[in-house]
Amino acid sequence: MRCPHCRTPMDPDPRALPPVSGEHGALKLTLEGLPARICPHGHHAPVDADFMFWLIQEMKERLGKLPAGEEKGLLMKKHLCECGRELAAKPDHRETVRERVTYEGGAAFGAVFDLAMHRCPGCGKSQLRSAREAQRDVAHSLAEITDAAKFPHAG
The pLDDT value given to residue 22: 96
pLDDT in tens, 28-73: 999 999 999 999 999 999 999 899 999 999 999 999 999 999 999 8
* pLDDT number for residue 154: 62
pLDDT score of 112 more than 90: yes
- Separation between Cα atoms, residue 68 and residue 131, nearest integer Å: 6
Phi, psi of 147 (to 5 degrees): -65, -45
Asked whether 132 and 46 are in contact (CB, 8 A), the reply is no
Q: CA 108 to CA 105: how far, in whole Å?
A: 8
Q: Which pLDDT tens digit goes with each residue over 74-83?
A: 888 899 999 9
Look at residue 20 in the predicted model and tell me its pLDDT: 97
Where are the domains positioned within the chain? 15-148
Cβ neighbours for 86, distance < 8 A, ≥ 6 positions apart = 78, 79, 80, 121
Q: Please provide the average confidence, as pLDDT, over all residues in the chain.
A: 93
Q: Is the pLDDT of residue 114 over 70?
A: yes
Question: In terms of pTM, does the model score above 0.95?
Answer: no
134-154, pLDDT tens digit by residue?
Answer: 999 999 999 999 999 999 876
DSSP of 127-138, one letter per residue?
EBS-HHHHHHHH
For position 116, what pLDDT does the model report? 95
Return phi, psi of residue 143, to 5°: -65, -40
**Which of 28, 36, 19, 54 shows the shortest CA–CA distance to 138?**
28
